[in-house]
Amino acid sequence: MLWGSRFDKAPDELFARFQNSFHFDWRLYDADVRGSIAYSKALARVGILTDAEASEIERGLLVVRDEFAAGEFEAKPGDEDIHTAVERRLHELIGPPAHKLHTGRSRNDQVATDMRLYVRDAIARADAAVRELQVALVEQAEKYPHALVPGYTHVRRAQPVLWAHYLLSFFWMLARDRERFADAAKRVAVMPLGAGALAGNPFGVDRDFLARELGFARPSENSLDAVSDRDFIAEYLFAASLLQLHLSRLAEDFVFYSAPEFGFIALDDAYTTGSSIMPQKKNPDSMELVRGKTGRVIGDLNTLLIVLKGAPSSYDKDFQEDKEPLFDAADTLEMTLGVVTGVIRTMRVNVETMRAALDEGMLATDLAEYLVRKGLPFRQAHHVVGGLVKLAEARGAKNSGGKFSSGKFSDLSLDEFRGASELFDEDVFVVLDYDASVKARAVFGGTAPAAVAEQLKLARKGLDAAKRG
Ligand code: ARG
């Protein structure tokens, strides 16, 4: 035990289980060992440890780390948290110098440092995984540069777009997610060690040295804030939540797009499951779970915010509850990213079915724009085309013997067009073309093939820049 001499009793057994965190915070072992090695060096520099003792401590800590990494670390009943466990084991391994390591340090600045090291690594892993997913999207976009798909709003066919344009819409969401992680990383890069319990280190340890050793940008400016600050975890969890949410929306689309009623894509067998009763079923469980697990990650963010909201300033044991949500979110996010990347890489795309799902109603805006080009104000043009939609629908219903039908502009004669507006001419039928509709949207960021080619170039460039950085 790291404390206890001023107590007459050991903790109640239930309370001990309640407050122990080793069963989850053992995952900080690598960060804890790194932090302690740096701290032992800082202690040697101010003469609290001899160089020989510091080397002994380093050697011992590396053994402890190896034991954890190999899954061979043996926990003992008194190991209340990772810090206690590491120090206990270090003492078994190297004897007396182990008991000097905690000089001037508190578990408060220690755990704050460990958590920052952990989050830093988690951000690096998430960033690399998001980049992989971006690569998969770009590669799929490049596979079918001319394929058209219905673009939807309100899950109603709206206007035709390039399939590549649709896929790349997710690329840019992910680009923002990576920016958010990179931005959060700047605030993670502040080092608490040397803050002590709350008031600062009395032995003059060189905090700039510690920051350099541990790869932080600078030491924290205020020891009270240093042991109190968990903002960086909240920021990670928010960035993770928003990223999960983007993946969830993609998953939602893909559940529909892979349904036989749509048939735009087929998910690979490796990412689908069967039914225990209905032999024909192939279910998109991978995508459904991406949606479901998003709730978990958002819940993790909520958990932390609620833990923090009532905590008095400086350190409080409440903060121990920051770990499980962080670990859970990081595990969930990393798994989710791997699965989504796999789904994108292996999906089959049915270009013909996507095209066949376009309907002429999706060209109504193009018709109105045709009239605008002939001089009609847009609001009037919208009104005229609305009348034509009604007419085409009535025609469609009649042609199908009164059954429901959406009707087609191409079923109307030029006279009927001209009945709606004198501005219509033979060339109106040229407008009734999906490829022409897409091609017209050639602004930067639009869905025209030329604009999408430019977009792809930017995406590729963004990937390379991020790799260099
Ligand atoms: N397990 C604790 C945590 O995660 C470590 C810090 C404990 N500090 C203390 N003064 N009890 O927050």
Residue 405 has pLDDT above 70, yes or no: no
Which of the four pLDDT bands, split at 50, 70 and 90, describes residue 401?
A: confident
Final residue in a domain of this structure, among 100, 123, 145: 100
Residue 211 lies in a domain: yes
Which of the four pLDDT bands, split at 50, 70 and 90, describes residue 466?
A: low
pLDDT in tens, 232-281: 999 999 999 999 999 999 999 999 999 999 999 999 999 999 988 888 98
| Ligand 1 mutation pick, 107, 115, 326, max ligand atoms within 8 A of CB | 107
Would you list the DSSP string of 86-119? Answer: HHHHHHHHH-GGGGGTTTT--HHHHHHHHHHHHH
- Tell how far the Cα of 318 is from the centroid of ligand 1, in angstroms: 9
Q: Are residues 327 and 189 in the same domain?
A: yes
pLDDT of residue 469: 46
Domain with 332, as residue range(s), is 107-356
Residue nearest to atom 4 of ligand 1 (CA): 320
Residue 1 lies in a domain: no
Q: Are residues 267 and 293 in the same domain?
A: yes
Residue 346 lies in a domain: yes
Question: CB under 6 Å to ligand 1: residues?
Answer: 21, 25, 81, 107-108, 111, 317, 319-320
- Domains identified in the chain, total number: 3
Q: Are residues 372 and 335 in the same domain?
A: no
Residue 400 lies in a domain: yes
pTM: 0.95
- Specify the CATH number for the domain of residue 38: 1.10.275.10
Q: Are residues 457 and 329 in the same domain?
A: no
Final residue in a domain of this structure, among 47, 71, 100: 100
pLDDT of residue 5: 87
Average pLDDT over residues 343-371: 97
Q: Tell me, what DSSP letter sits at residue 258?
A: T
Residue 215 lies in a domain: yes
Average pLDDT over residues 147-174: 97
Which of the four pLDDT bands, split at 50, 70 and 90, describes residue 467?
A: low
pLDDT of residue 104: 98
Neighbours of 341 (CB within 10 A): 19
Q: Is 83 a catalytic residue?
A: no
Q: Are residues 166 and 310 in the same domain?
A: yes
Q: Are residues 158 and 272 in the same domain?
A: yes
Residue 191 lies in a domain: yes
Mean pLDDT estimate for the chain:
96
Residue 3 lies in a domain: no
The CA distance from 398 to 404, in Å, is 9
The CA distance from 318 to 320, in Å, is 5
- Tell how far the Cα of 425 is from the centroid of ligand 1, in angstroms: 79
Q: Quickly tell me which residue has 């001499």 as its tokens.
A: 5
Pairing of strands 348-349, 265-266: antiparallel
Q: Are residues 293 and 257 in the same domain?
A: yes
Final residue in a domain of this structure, among 294, 327, 356: 356
Partners of residue 266 on adjacent β-strands: 348
- H-helix or E-strand containing 125? helix 107-143
Q: Tell me, what DSSP letter sits at residue 283?
A: B
Average pLDDT over residues 432-460: 97
Q: Is 248 a catalytic residue?
A: no
Query: Crossing angle of helices 449-468/163-188, nearest 10°?
Result: 30
- Tell how far the Cα of 103 is from the centroid of ligand 1, in angstroms: 16
pLDDT of residue 398: 82
Q: Specify whether the CB–CB gap between 368 and 278 falls below 8 A.
A: no
Query: Crossing angle of helices 163-188/107-143, nearest 10°?
Result: 160
Neighbours of 287 (CB within 10 A): 26
The CA distance from 159 to 152, in Å, is 7
The percent of residues in the chain predicted with pLDDT above 70, rounded, is 98
Average pLDDT over residues 141-169: 97
Q: Are residues 171 and 223 in the same domain?
A: yes
Average pLDDT over residues 342-368: 97
- Specify the CATH number for the domain of residue 178: 1.20.200.10
Average pLDDT over residues 197-217: 98
Q: Are residues 350 and 366 in the same domain?
A: no
